[in-house]
Structure 1
């Protein structure tokens, strides 16, 4: 976990400075706080002196300890969060004055898929001017980086992540066949070239971390993600995974994050989505088939990132397994990179009731060594920040399994005056939501309470039916378990 923070500081800052030196940028791109930029170092915390974590000649371990010692609890927590980018959660392509009042005013671990052109499922690509050309895209990501370096207390750069299992996910990028198609070639040299191109194009666009390759081994052809695997041979997956990572991480152009760790691709009945997948495999099968590719890719290719998987194994969630994430991954294999949870994975364990013993999904995940949580559009019910979206957007709150809810209070925010419509929806599991309350908002920046018939539910969703409506804080009336 300590290496994670330093990786951001080194990788993020070098990305910003090298981009300024080599990419043709608009004339308006000029350093704002020039006094913090010195020859050979950056005054990230703006105190006028070179702290140990700002000294490029100091030992990495010393820089890490110094940085951690200066961080408060909010800053440490924010470094464990992945925020989805423009038109996913972020409503702004570039920083605004409002950012200084948002959650990420204290920094953020990563921003995922920012300005890659994807908006939401079923919508056309974004026509934002910063999506293309690539030089403009890189400039825009540098402007976002400038906010975190210049306008946060400690200046910790953000990690820009993106998908890359068939080429970097972008409005315009080289589009390769699926991993299953690439796997059919059994061609190591070809896959290495795919990795080189993916990493190079990702870096050119300003991304620092690409979520690839997928190291799952295909076992059940009914599984809905089968096209994402290289094949059903663990040897094939390992060999091609090694070449893909070597190509992506060539000359430190990007970090590669392999997924999904571990025992993910043989779910009972080919289950997927929000269901508990409950893979039923013997320990020998897990070791010989599913562990094999990860172990080899980490040891032979120097994989820098791992995405922990949604599933449990032997009744215990991988997200909170100190055995898999610490004893095996770090202790046995010597993995020194970072671990990020799959999107909403930590929250979904609460929905499936796997946290009944501790009641603290995030605490268990942190203790097990999950450095970052990819939370997507889900916010905790005690998170005091503002999430804002347009018509059709929603946020989801996981509830304690088996509990009743009969109402909630919401503090709303809105960009302009006028009423706004919304719905409160509940789900008992399986992803199906029913509306239990619909209405309009006329008062903002104060608590508004809504009640409905007590219902047992696993999660709650607030659906926006108007543009520009924001949720500042939520309090849920959760009754005693039945």
Structure 2
């Protein structure tokens, strides 16, 4: 009898497919693979996608702004079924509540009711992702307000920033949010731009390091995202921080080399080292192509080169802006087509009427969009839902009041620490600071920002904060008297002052009142700068935020000069959202502290720094210009012949990148390279000895810069490649080391590929971008 041989591979494939499509519970109940937590994420995505109709898929890349009902879970669930069931009958990808209007308990009721509807009353039972803002704290009714990103950038403290965004993530997830629209990885290259306070700074390496810390804090360090973390979103991709003219929504026209080496670098690190789960496209265009329709940007670079496998989300109303602002699409349908074909996954319209992805079904049926493009977008959305564990844990587990209050106390202390570490001492003639409380009978606190709590943009302003005046009064209680005078008004109630309030007579009267108080006081703290009305996202004529000038607004300089003429012990504290050209203050003020916006504990932190309980250690994350006419003024510019002065003054900035003083002094010595000559793929270590030569404990931020002396393409005059914080007691010395490898030395060559070219490199280590020791490192051929 002849043996019959069978090819069993087809049978194994069929059996495998059957196993993938279904599995059994311990009770023997059959469940689909996508609901099986033991299956791999890719198996679950593939299984769920195979079960979806065209309408199901379209709803998964849709966002819904549900009504805030502020009622119990059961009542909300009934109303959703009756009033909004038609909207989400096929599911929904994304939810966006007005979180500041809802308490923790109210949000949980709303959110859980919607999730219950999606899980129980839609065919596939797919939970939704919920979005919230968290740039420097959760923008919810009970969120902790940390210092703005520009302040956090001034701390140069990556470890603390991870701790802060861990706290932000915990608050957001406890509230019910699963997607944080942060961190902002834009480079602050245009200080006229109203969104400066959302950015960490101007340097790609510095922003990448701090941005990576924020991502690790939000998402955690594990592959899956647990119940104390959430999806982070890197924004705005790309080159959003250098708009033409410093105006919001303007084009960005830079070379590919500049884009890759500077503006794209923090996003590349976010993808490759942070495993960022979402990226938000930017409003601007690059070389004539809007970011939301830029296939090279979203497909070739982000996904193809870097391997990003999360979803790309639109900025608000950005897809429709391609119709009415950028004029590259005739209508919403064409805008939706351009976006989905370029690699956009999620559209966030500002209203249902402005939704462009609603035309996807007919675009697919007409062949203008391939269904595979939609499938790819949906798969990326579903992948993140599985990474989050939303199918297993879809609901908010509300914290009780005791847990919430304990969390708030811990995070408030972290906010205080961050504010103290973020202040930058710019000037301190004759040791004006710190003030000695034993030598003061009366302290005059003067200025428009002293008695107001300024949080900056994208902030939760419902959380009560400590004003600077309140913090100083609390510190002074039982020691000395604190008196206040406003001195000058900037903006009031989101509008310019009424005509009768801004007359010269009224302004003169306020200045005279402030001067009189200063005369009768032993020391003066001037709290000046700007506010949220003068620096913010300007999206309409009645919502301006970009500036044509960078000087102090109004007659703040007049107020300051009148106080300085009294020769009192006087310090200036700047509270503002962008770098200001405070040239007159720099010349005349005995002492200056840059604070930016310091969060809910600002008053306590300022008192601690001004009176020496805390030694300031912040360093500028951005260059401060002398005048708006110097722009662009970022430190790592290309070589300029002799850096000649302007007709009106010097070329040099008012304060350089990385600059910041202390109440003590630090000396740098013994700069050494372990190896002075290396191969292109080799490495070495540079070390320096830092000594506290003063009489106060202090922290110094040691910075390493690199310069390629001769290269095939022009290179920046210097580039930051490392920084470390060091705490030193008086007289103490420590050796600080930095590794140098091919990643430190490489750049984009003539062929637009990264290369380490043989030759000599300046290795600069010091206290800022202009004050350092130098050694030469040679790279062999």
TM over 0.5: yes
**Alpha-carbon distance in 1 for matches of 2:357, 2:182:** 31
What do residues 210-234 of structure 1 show as CA deviations (whole Å, max 9, x unaligned)? 1110000011111011111001111
Q: Is 2:243 the counterpart of 1:257? A: no
Deviation of 1:151 (Å)? 1.3
Q: Is 2:90 the counterpart of 1:116? A: no
Aligned to 2:61: 80
**Alpha-carbon distance in 2 for matches of 1:306, 1:231:** 19
Does the CA contact (< 8 Å) of 2:336 and 2:356 recur in 1? no
Which of 273, 277, 288 does residue 315 from structure 1 map onto?
288
**Alpha-carbon distance in 2 for matches of 1:205, 1:197:** 12
Q: Is 2:244 the counterpart of 1:244? A: no
Aligned to 1:102: 86
- Give runs of aligned pairs for residues 67-466 of structure 1, distance below 5 A: 67-86=48-67, 94-95=76-77, 96=79, 97-99=81-83, 101-112=85-96, 114-117=97-100, 126=101, 131-132=102-103, 134-135=104-105, 137-250=107-220, 252=225, 253-273=229-249, 277-352=250-325, 353-356=327-330, 360-380=334-354
Does the CA contact (< 8 Å) of 2:186 and 2:235 recur in 1? yes
Paired positions, count: 327
Deviation of 1:157 (Å)? 0.4
**Alpha-carbon distance in 2 for matches of 1:40, 1:289:** 54
Does the CA contact (< 8 Å) of 1:84 and 1:376 recur in 2? no
- The residue matched to 2:313 in structure 1 has which SS? strand
Deviation of 1:206 (Å)? 1.1
Unaligned stretches of 5+ in structure 2? 1-23, 360-538, 543-781
**Alpha-carbon distance in 2 for matches of 1:270, 1:82:** 31
Deviation of 1:319 (Å)? 0.8
Does the CA contact (< 8 Å) of 2:317 and 2:350 recur in 1? yes
What do residues 255-296 of structure 1 show as CA deviations (whole Å, max 9, x unaligned)? 1111001111111111215xxx11121222111110010001
**Alpha-carbon distance in 2 for matches of 1:187, 1:52:** 44
What do residues 318-339 of structure 1 show as CA deviations (whole Å, max 9, x unaligned)? 1122211111111111111111
- Give runs of aligned pairs for residues 49-60 of structure 1, distance below 5 A: 49-60=30-41
Deviation of 1:301 (Å)? 1.3
**Alpha-carbon distance in 2 for matches of 1:190, 1:234:** 19
Deviation of 1:40 (Å)? 7.7
**Alpha-carbon distance in 2 for matches of 1:237, 1:282:** 20
- The residue matched to 2:180 in structure 1 has which SS? strand
**Alpha-carbon distance in 1 for matches of 2:215, 2:358:** 39
Deviation of 1:202 (Å)? 0.7
Does the CA contact (< 8 Å) of 1:344 and 1:378 recur in 2? no
Deviation of 1:382 (Å)? 9.3
**Alpha-carbon distance in 2 for matches of 1:50, 1:317:** 44
- The residue matched to 1:104 in structure 2 has which SS? coil
**Which protein shows a greater Rg?**
2
Does the CA contact (< 8 Å) of 2:333 and 2:356 recur in 1? no
**Alpha-carbon distance in 2 for matches of 1:431, 1:176:** 27
Q: Compared with structure 1, are the counterparts of its residues 40 and 375 closer, same or farther at alpha carbon in structure 2 (3 Å cutoff)? A: farther
Deviation of 1:431 (Å)? 5.5
- The residue matched to 2:235 in structure 1 has which SS? strand
Deviation of 1:80 (Å)? 1.0
Unaligned stretches of 5+ in structure 1? 1-37, 118-125, 386-429, 434-482
Does the CA contact (< 8 Å) of 1:305 and 1:338 recur in 2? yes
**Alpha-carbon distance in 2 for matches of 1:143, 1:365:** 32
Q: Compared with structure 1, are the counterparts of its residues 63 and 384 closer, same or farther at alpha carbon in structure 2 (3 Å cutoff)? A: closer
- Give runs of aligned pairs for residues 18-37 of structure 1, distance below 5 A: none
Which of 41, 45, 70 does residue 64 from structure 1 map onto?
45
Question: What TM-score results when the alignment is normalised by the length of structure 1?
Answer: 0.63
Q: Compared with structure 1, are the counterparts of its residues 432 and 189 closer, same or farther at alpha carbon in structure 2 (3 Å cutoff)? A: closer
Q: Compared with structure 1, are the counterparts of its residues 381 and 62 closer, same or farther at alpha carbon in structure 2 (3 Å cutoff)? A: closer
Deviation of 1:99 (Å)? 4.5
Deviation of 1:160 (Å)? 0.8
